[in-house]
Amino acid sequence: MSVEVTCTINGEQHVLPVEPAETLVESLRLRLGLTGVKKACGTGDCGACTVLVDGEALRSCILLTASMQGKSITTIEGLGTPDNLHPVQEAFVEAGGIQCGFCTPGMILTAKAMLDKNPRPSDAEIMEGLSGNLCRCTGYVKIVDSVHRAAEKMAP
Amino acid sequence: MRKLRIVGQRELRTDAIAKATGRVRFTADMRRKDMLTGKALFAAYPHALIKNIDVSEALRVPGVVTVMTAKDLPGRNGYGVMIQDKPVIVESKTHYEGDAVALVAAVSDEAAREALRRIKVDYELLPAYDDPREAMKEGAVRIHENHPVAEDGNILVTLKLDRGDVEEAFAQADIIIENDYETPIVEHCYMEPDVCIAEPDPLTGGLTVISPAQAVYANRRSLAGVFGIPHNKLRVVSPLVGGGFGGKEDSCLDVSAMAGVLAVKCDRPVYMELTREEVFRTTGKRHATYISHRLAATKEGKVLAVDVRTILNKGAYVSMGGMKEPLHAVTMRTLVYAAGAYHVPNARARSHSVFTNTPYACAFRGFGVPQATFAMECQMDELARRLGMDPVKIRQINMLRHNDRTITGQVMLESRGLGLGECIEKVAERFGWDKALPAAAGPVKKGKGFAVYMYGTGIPLLFEGSNCYAHLQLDGTLSLAVSSTEIGQGLNTVLAQIAAETLGIRVADVVVELSDTAKTPDSGPTVGSRSAVLVGNAVLDACAKLRERMLTVAARYMFAKTDPRDITIEDGVVSVIGKPELKQPLSAVAAKAYASQVPLAVVGSWYPPQASFSAEDGQGNPCHAYAFGAQAVEVTVDVETGVITVQRAVMACDVGKAINPVNVEGQMEGGSAQGLGWALMEESIMEKGVMRNPTFHSYMIPTIEDLPRLEPIIVEHPNELGPYGAKGVGEPATIGMAPAIRNAVWDALGIKINVIPLTARQIIKSVKEHEQGR
Amino acid sequence: MTAQTFYNPASIAELLDVLDKFKEKVVIVNGGTDVVERLQTGRVAPPPDAIMYIRNVAELDYIREENGHVAVGGITSYAEMLSSPLCRQFGGLMQALAEIGSPPIRTIATPAGNIGTAAPAADCNAALMALGASVVLASKTGERALSFEELFSGPQKTCLRRDELIREIRIPVNKTATSAFIKLAKRKAQDIAQVSACVCLEAEGDVCKNVVVSLGAVAPVTVRARSMEALIVNKTVDDAVAAVRGFVPSEASLRSPRNKAYKEAVIGVIVGRAIKKAHAETAGRK
C-alpha cells in the first residue's frame, strides 16, 4: 500500500506515492530523475547520496521517503546551474576538488550545509565536517582547499 | 620549438562543471523504466561442488522473466582480460564467493530478489584456501581441475629473472639482509558500484553494453563470444567512470557478461547493478603477496645483489595475474621491480602466482609494483640501519643513474627522463630530513621514514598501440575520439590541452569523444598510467598532421608566396610570423581546405619502441620510459594503543612533463592516500574464502581526518618520446607511502614490522613480542 | 514481503496504540541510520507488516533538567545533545557524542535509537551506563524504568517488550562527579569502536572515592566493569591507573580470536587514561 507524501524538492512541491520502505535516494533517482543524487553504498557509510533536508545534510539512502512529509529537500540539481553555479560548486571546480565526480554532489552539499552554519571554518572544522564523506580519488587536499575557497566566495 | 601556451597550464577540468552540478550521467543514471532488473545468485560456498540446482520455484515468482543457469547461455561460458577462464555462470563447481550460480531477470528489483531466494542449490563442500602458501602445497585440493594454462596444480605460473652471478655476489658481500614480508588483499573501493545496461540492438542484430569499463575494446574482444556474436556487433560504451583504479578492467566484464546474457536471452534491455556488498565479495582485488627477500651489500652501502621469492595470491581466476604468454602482468612486474629503483648488478627473482578461493586478484593501481617495492624499500632501510648510514644517503648511493642497467638489463637514459636524484633531494629538503625530530616523551613516539620508487609507463607486451580520430570542423573547432575512459584522472582535459597546443586552438574549442566502440578507435585500455602519454602521442600525431595541412593550405591559398614554415596558428588564428596583419581565422582556412579536397579528418597513432622481456631469464626492455619518485613521512605512534597518525607526507614524482599540474597533483595526492590506506588500515579479511568485512563500515578506507595535508612536488625530466616530455603519473604515487610509513614506524618504535596493514592490533602485537624479547 | 503500512503518529498515545496493535510486526524508525538499511536488505526479523516513523511526535523531543536528572526525549538527536548546555556537564557523554559517526549521522541519529539497537560498540551507550543513566519505557499499560545495567540482554537485544517505547533517557546530575570517554577505532573518523571506555569518577583530592567504569565492544553487550572499579576505589589516581594497566576485567568476554589479544592489551590503558582525564576535569572545576 503506498503512502502519499507531499514535500518540496528543489523549490517545487511534489506529491509522491511511495512504498513504506522506499528510501529517498530511490525516489529521487527513479521517480523524479534526480540522478545527481548518487548511491554508492546503500548503508549510510559514504555520504555520496547526501541531500539537504530543511538545510541539514542527510544521507538519502537511509531516509524513508514516507518520512519526508512537509520537508524541503535540496539535491545537487537544486543548488546551482552550469550558468549560475553556487559558490561551493564554483569553488570545487576552480580548486580541483573534483576527480571522478561520484562523491562530488554529496561533498558539495555537505560543505554547503557546514558553511551555512560556520561561514569561516578552520582546516580542522572542515575535516570534521566532511569526515563522513568518502572520496577515493583526491586524497582530500583539494577538497579542503575548495571549502576554504567557497568560504571566501560566500563571505559578505 | 614553439613556446608552450597551453601544455603545463593549470587548466580547469573540462568536465568539472557538469560533475559539480550533478548533471553528468554515469551508467546507473541511464536506467529506464522499461529495463528488466538483472540479479545474480552468487555462490553460497566459496569452494564446493554443485550437485543440483532447482529454479522451478523462482520461475513461478510473478514478474520473473527468466532464470538462467549455465546450460542456458547463448555462447562461450568463459571470459577474462588475458584468458577466458572465468565462467559467466559456473556449471558444476564454485571457486570463490563471487561465482554466479544462476541469473535472474525480472520486471522489478523486488521480484528478482524474491526469485533469488527461491533458487535451491545443493552443494558438496570442498576445503577452501585463503593462503597461497597452503594452496601450493602438495596434496592441496585443486581449485581448477582442468585449467587451460595452470602450470602445476594450483600454481598458475612461476616466472623467473636471472642477472649476473647472485651466488658469487652473496659470497663477496659484507652484509646480507634477509626478511619475509607480507602485504594484504585490498579492495579498490571506487565510489561508483559496478553496473551495466545491456540492450539488444535491432539494427545490427547485436548488443550494446554500457558500463563504467576501463577498456571498451578489450571488453568487446572478451565478451563477443560470450554473447555468440561477432566483435563488430558488440557495442561497448563506457560513460564517465566513477573511479576504477584497475578494478573496472575486470569487474565491468563480470557485470556486463551477466547483464548481456540476460538481455540476449530475454531480447530486452537489462539493468544490473551490484550492491556494495556484492562489489566487495565478487570483484577483483589487489594481489596479496608473501615476499622472501635477501639482499647483499658492501660495507660502503653498495647493493651487490638481490634474491627474491614472491608468492602471489591469485585468487580464483587469472585476470591480470600473469602467464608466460602474454607475459606482461602483475606477476612479471614483481620480478622487474624486485630491486626497486636501484642499480643492482646481480639479481635472482622467482614469482609464483597461486590460485586460492579468495576473489580473483587483478590490476590495482601499481600492478604489483607497490608490493615488490615495499619489500625492497624495507630492505634498504635495514641496510642503512645496519651500516649506521642515513636512509636518504643509502638511496642516493644506489639509485639508478644515466647508463645504469636495471635488473632486467634495460639501460636507463636521461633522455627518457631520469629524475630520481632530484626527487630525493627535493623531498629531503622540503621535509627537513636533516633536522632531528624533537625527542618524544610519554607513550606517543615520533618517527620519520623515506622511500623511493620507479614505475614504467604503459603495459607493453599486452597492447601498446594507441589510435585516435581527429576531425577539424569548418568553424575551427576540433572533434577528437579515443576509446580511453575518463575515470577521474582528467584525461579529457589533458588530451584537449595536447590537441589545442599542437594545432593552435583554444582548449574550449576541443571536444573529446570517449570510450564507445561505435564512435572511437582503439586507443588501448585505460590502465598502466599510459593514457596521457600513449594516447596523448596519438592525439599529438593527429593534430600535427592537421596543423601541417592547414599551414599548407594557408600558404598556398591565403598568404600567397609564403613558406608554410613562416606561418603559425595560435588561439584559432592563422597568421604570418612577424606580420600580424596577415591573418585569417582557422575556420576560413578549414573552409578553404574543405573546398580544395584536403581531408580534415585524420587518424593519429602512436606505438612506442617494441618492448621485450624474456620468459627464460627476465631480461629485456619492458617499458620505454619510467616515472620516478621519492616520499618522506613523519608519524606518531601511541605505543600503548597502537594508534598511528601520519603527521606529514612529502612526495615528489618525476613525471617528465606535467601537462596539467592540477591533475598531476591530484594523482599524486590520491595515489598517496590509497597508499596510506594500504599501509595502515585496509584489508579484506577472508576466512576460508568468506569475506568478513564487505561494507564501508567494516572495510576501512581513509577519511579526510586520516590524512595529513599531503605535499606533492612535481619534478620534470622530460621523456623524449612522450608528448611534450610526459611520462605516466596515474599509479606511481601509490607506491612510496607504505614503505615510507613502515620505515617511519620502525624509526619511532625501534621495532621492525614486515607486515602491512600496520593496524593498531599489529602494532600492539609487535610491541608485546618485542618486549618479550622474542 | 515488505511492510505494507506506514504510520506517522503525532502523539505518544497514537504511537503506543500502533505499537500495541502490531507489537513485533511493526518496525520503529527513529533516526533510521541503522534500521532503514536493515529494512532494505531484508534483515529485520520477523518481516514487519508496518513501519512507524516516530520523529513527528513533538512531545518526545526535549532535553530538560528536572528532579535531579537531565531528561532526554525519545526522538532527541545526538546533534541536539551536543549543542545542549544541559548535557555539557557530562564530560564523558559529550566526548562520546563527538565520536559518533560523522556530523550528518549525528544530525539524525538518536540515543534512544541506538539503545534499541543495542550494538555492543555504541559510543553513547557506554557513556550513559557510566553516568548511571536509566531509560523510561512506555506502553499502553504504563511506564517502567530500567537502568542501563538491566537494559541489554544479548547482542543486539534489549529487555524491552515489543509494545514498549523508549520514551526518555534520564541522566542523574552529580555535581561531585566528573567523567571521561575514550574510544579506539581503526581510523580517525566515522568508525565503530574497537574498544571504548567511560569512567565516571568522584575524587577527593587525588584519591578516587566512587567510580563507575563502563566498556564498549568487549562483550556482547555494553558492560559495567565492576572488577575494574574495585581496583580503583580508594586509590590515588596514579595508583589506580597503574592498577588497571594490563588488567582484563572479568566482565569482558572476548570471543573473536582476531581481536582478543589487542582488546585485552588496551582496555586497561584506555580506562587508565579515562581516569586521568576525568580527574583532570575535577581539578579544572575547582
**Residues C63, C92: one domain?**
yes
Closest CA relative to residue C83, chosen from C97, C70, C102: C97
For residues B409 and B163, the answer to whether their CB atoms sit within 8 Å is yes
| DSSP state letter for B326 | S
Sign of the alpha-carbon dihedral angle for C111, A46, B367, B99 = positive
- Does the pLDDT at position B332 exceed 70? yes
Is residue C69 classed as helix, strand or coil in its secondary structure? Answer: strand
Among partner residues B12, B673, B696, which is closest to A93 by beta-carbon distance? B12
- Does the pLDDT at position A90 exceed 80? yes
Chain B positions touching C192 (Cβ under 8 A) are 697
Among partner residues B191, B701, B704, which is closest to A102 by beta-carbon distance? B191
For B114-124, the pLDDT digits (tens) are 999 999 999 99
B41 strand-pairing partners: B102
Chain B positions touching C269 (Cβ under 8 A) are 640-641
Our CA-based measurement puts residue C22 at a distance from the nearest CA of chain A, in whole angstroms, of: 16
For residues B223 and B256, the answer to whether their CB atoms sit within 8 Å is yes
The mean per-residue pLDDT over the stretch B541-567 comes to 94
| DSSP state letter for A138 | S
A143–chain B Cβ distance below 8 A for any pair: yes
- Can you tell me the distance from the alpha carbon of C252 to that of C265, in angstroms, rounded to the nearest whole number? 12
- Can you tell me the distance from the alpha carbon of B728 to that of B528, in angstroms, rounded to the nearest whole number? 8
Among partner residues B703, B764, B768, which is closest to C188 by beta-carbon distance? B703
Q: Structural domain tally of chain C?
A: 3
CATH class of residue range B16-23+465-606: alpha beta
Enumerate neighbours of B (3 or more CB pairs within 8 A). A, C
Residue B552 burial (10 A CB sphere; 0-12, 13-18, 19+): middle
Closest CA relative to residue B119, chosen from B106, B103, B105: B103
- Stretches where chain C sits below pLDDT 50 are 1
- Can you tell me the distance from the alpha carbon of C252 to that of C249, in angstroms, rounded to the nearest whole number? 6
Residue from A50, A56, A67 whose CB has the most chain C CBs within 10 Å, to mutate: A67
**Residues C245, C267: one domain?**
yes
For A91-133, the pLDDT digits (tens) are 999 999 999 999 999 999 999 999 999 999 999 999 999 999 9
Name the segment(s) of chain B with CATH classification 3.90.1170.50.
31-126+188-282
Is residue B612 classed as helix, strand or coil in its secondary structure? Answer: coil
Neighbours of B51 (CB within 10 A): 10
For residues B494 and B660, the answer to whether their CB atoms sit within 8 Å is yes
Q: Give the distance between the most distant pair of CA atoms in chain C.
A: 61
Query: Following DSSP, what letter does each residue of B660-683 receive, concatenated?
Result: SHHHHHHHHHHHHHHHHHHHHT--
CATH number for the domain harbouring residue C281: 3.30.390.50
**Residues C222, C256: one domain?**
yes
For residues B41 and B120, the answer to whether their CB atoms sit within 8 Å is no
Residue found by looking up cell 553496473 in the block? B195
Among partner residues A40, A101, A104, which is closest to B193 by beta-carbon distance? A40
For A20-79, the pLDDT digits (tens) are 999 999 999 999 999 999 999 999 999 999 999 999 999 999 999 999 999 999 999 999
Q: Which residue of C has its CA nearest to A50?
A: C104
Q: Which residue of A has its CA nearest to C192?
A: A45
Phi, psi dihedrals of residue B64, rounded to the nearest 5°:
-80, 130
A51–chain B Cβ distance below 8 A for any pair: no
- Does the pLDDT at position B644 exceed 60? yes
pLDDT band for position B481 (cuts 50, 70, 90): very high
Residues 6+ positions from C38 with CB-CB distance below 8 Å = C44
Chain C positions touching B113 (Cβ under 8 A) are 42
For B661-679, the pLDDT digits (tens) are 999 999 999 999 999 999 9
- Does the pLDDT at position B309 exceed 80? yes
Query: Is B242 within 8 Å of A101 when comparing Cβ atoms?
Result: yes
Res C2: pLDDT: 65
Q: Percent of chain B at pLDDT above 90?
A: 95
Query: Is A62 within 8 Å of C32 when comparing Cβ atoms?
Result: yes
- Can you tell me the distance from the alpha carbon of C99 to that of C137, in angstroms, rounded to the nearest whole number? 26
- Can you tell me the distance from the alpha carbon of B15 to that of B492, in angstroms, rounded to the nearest whole number? 8
Phi, psi dihedrals of residue B280, rounded to the nearest 5°:
-65, -50
- Can you tell me the distance from the alpha carbon of B25 to that of B13, in angstroms, rounded to the nearest whole number? 17
Architecture of domain B289-460+612-771: 2-Layer Sandwich (3.30)
- Can you tell me the distance from the alpha carbon of B492 to that of C203, in angstroms, rounded to the nearest whole number? 65
**Residues C184, C277: one domain?**
yes
Query: Is A132 within 8 Å of C104 when comparing Cβ atoms?
Result: yes
Phi, psi dihedrals of residue B605, rounded to the nearest 5°:
-140, 155
Our CA-based measurement puts residue A117 at a distance from the nearest CA of chain B, in whole angstroms, of: 20
Query: Is C104 within 8 Å of A23 when comparing Cβ atoms?
Result: no
Closest CA relative to residue B268, chosen from B228, B208, B341: B208
Res B1: pLDDT: 61
Strand duo B270-273 + B36-42: pairing: parallel
Our CA-based measurement puts residue C189 at a distance from the nearest CA of chain B, in whole angstroms, of: 6
Chain C positions touching A63 (Cβ under 8 A) are 32, 36, 108
Query: Is B190 within 8 Å of A131 when comparing Cβ atoms?
Result: no
| DSSP state letter for C256 | -
**Residues C107, C144: one domain?**
yes
- Can you tell me the distance from the alpha carbon of B365 to that of B763, in angstroms, rounded to the nearest whole number? 26
Residues 6+ positions from B498 with CB-CB distance below 8 Å = B7, B536, B539, B540, B543, B659, B723, B724
**Of C172, C203, C229, at which residue does a domain stop?**
C172
Chain C positions touching A133 (Cβ under 8 A) are 102
Our CA-based measurement puts residue A55 at a distance from the nearest CA of chain C, in whole angstroms, of: 11
Alpha helices (H) in B432-520, listed in sequence order: 491-503
| DSSP state letter for B557 | I
Sign of the alpha-carbon dihedral angle for B352, B357, B360, B365 = negative
- Does the pLDDT at position B317 exceed 90? yes
Res B560: pLDDT: 81
Chain B positions touching C259 (Cβ under 8 A) are 761
pLDDT band for position B64 (cuts 50, 70, 90): very high
Closest CA relative to residue B603, chosen from B680, B685, B520, B531: B520
Is residue B525 classed as helix, strand or coil in its secondary structure? Answer: coil
Rounded to 5 degrees, what angle do the CA atoms C203, C207, C211 make? 50
Q: Percent of chain B at pLDDT above 70?
A: 100
Q: Considering the domain B31-126+188-282 in this protein, what is its CATH number?
A: 3.90.1170.50
Among partner residues A19, A20, A50, which is closest to C104 by beta-carbon distance? A50
B25–chain A Cβ distance below 8 A for any pair: yes
Rounded to 5 degrees, what angle do the CA atoms B16, B17, B19 make? 65
Query: Is A132 within 8 Å of C5 when comparing Cβ atoms?
Result: no
Res C254: pLDDT: 87
C98–chain B Cβ distance below 8 A for any pair: no
Our CA-based measurement puts residue B408 at a distance from the nearest CA of chain C, in whole angstroms, of: 40
A52–chain B Cβ distance below 8 A for any pair: no
Residue from A1, A62, A110 whose CB has the most chain C CBs within 10 Å, to mutate: A62
**Residues C74, C162: one domain?**
yes
The mean per-residue pLDDT over the stretch B450-467 comes to 91
Q: Which residue of C has its CA nearest to A126?
A: C103
For residues B758 and B680, the answer to whether their CB atoms sit within 8 Å is yes
Closest CA relative to residue B674, chosen from B291, B245, B330: B245
Q: Give the distance between the most distant pair of CA atoms in chain B.
A: 89
Strand duo B644-654 + B626-638: pairing: antiparallel
The mean per-residue pLDDT over the stretch B610-617 comes to 92
**Residues C128, C88: one domain?**
yes
Is residue C236 classed as helix, strand or coil in its secondary structure? Answer: strand
> Could you tell me the residue range of the domain that residue C9 belongs to?
5-53
End-to-end CA distance of chain C: 60
Strand duo A3-9 + A72-74: pairing: parallel
For B442-457, the pLDDT digits (tens) are 999 999 999 999 999 9
Closest CA relative to residue B454, chosen from B524, B372, B391, B531: B372
Query: Is C6 within 8 Å of A3 when comparing Cβ atoms?
Result: yes
For residues C19 and C102, the answer to whether their CB atoms sit within 8 Å is no
Res C1: pLDDT: 47
Write out residues 61-100 of B within 8 Å (CB-CB) of A. none
Query: Following DSSP, what letter does each residue of A60-117 receive, concatenated?
Result: GGGSBGGGGTT-EEE-GGGT-BTTB--HHHHHHHHTT--SS-SSHHHHHHHHHHHHHH
Query: Is B706 within 8 Å of C2 when comparing Cβ atoms?
Result: no
Domains of chain A with CATH codes: 3-78 (3.10.20.30), 87-154 (1.10.150.120)
Chain A positions touching C51 (Cβ under 8 A) are 20-21, 64, 66
**Residues C64, C156: one domain?**
yes
Is residue C33 classed as helix, strand or coil in its secondary structure? Answer: coil
Q: Which residue of B has its CA nearest to A39?
A: B192
Q: Which residue of C has its CA nearest to A109?
A: C104
Our CA-based measurement puts residue A27 at a distance from the nearest CA of chain B, in whole angstroms, of: 13
For residues B350 and B160, the answer to whether their CB atoms sit within 8 Å is yes
Among partner residues A1, A114, A129, which is closest to C4 by beta-carbon distance? A1
Sign of the alpha-carbon dihedral angle for A41, A44, A45, A46 = positive
For B72-114, the pLDDT digits (tens) are 999 999 999 999 999 999 999 999 999 999 999 999 999 999 9
Residue from A49, A100, A108, A134 whose CB has the most chain B CBs within 10 Å, to mutate: A100
Query: Following DSSP, what letter does each residue of B157-179 receive, concatenated?
Result: EEEEEEES-HHHHHHH-SEEEEE
- Can you tell me the distance from the alpha carbon of B187 to that of B284, in angstroms, rounded to the nearest whole number? 7
B710–chain A Cβ distance below 8 A for any pair: yes
Enumerate neighbours of C (3 or more CB pairs within 8 A). A, B
Rounded to 5 degrees, what angle do the CA atoms A117, A122, A128 make? 70
Which grid cell is B765?
602485537
Among partner residues C4, C51, C105, which is closest to A132 by beta-carbon distance? C105
**Of C144, C172, C200, at which residue does a domain stop?**
C172
Here the ipTM equals 0.98
Chain B positions touching A107 (Cβ under 8 A) are none
pLDDT band for position B483 (cuts 50, 70, 90): very high
Tell me the average pLDDT of chain B: 96
- Does the pLDDT at position B701 exceed 90? yes
Residue found by looking up cell 582530500 in the block? A140
Q: Which residue of B has its CA nearest to C272?
A: B640
Our CA-based measurement puts residue B770 at a distance from the nearest CA of chain C, in whole angstroms, of: 14
Which grid cell is B456?
614504467
Identity of the amino acid at C129? M
User: What is the three-state SS of B38-51?
Assistant: EEEEECCCCCEEEE
Among partner residues A41, A89, A132, which is closest to B20 by beta-carbon distance? A89
Enumerate neighbours of A (3 or more CB pairs within 8 A). B, C
Query: Following DSSP, what letter does each residue of B136-163 receive, concatenated?
Result: TSTTPPPS-TT-SS-SBTTEEEEEEEEE
A114–chain C Cβ distance below 8 A for any pair: yes
Alpha helices (H) in B388-419, listed in sequence order: 391-398
Name the segment(s) of chain B with CATH classification 3.30.365.10.
16-23+465-606, 289-460+612-771
Chain B positions touching A41 (Cβ under 8 A) are 276, 695-696
Our CA-based measurement puts residue B13 at a distance from the nearest CA of chain A, in whole angstroms, of: 8
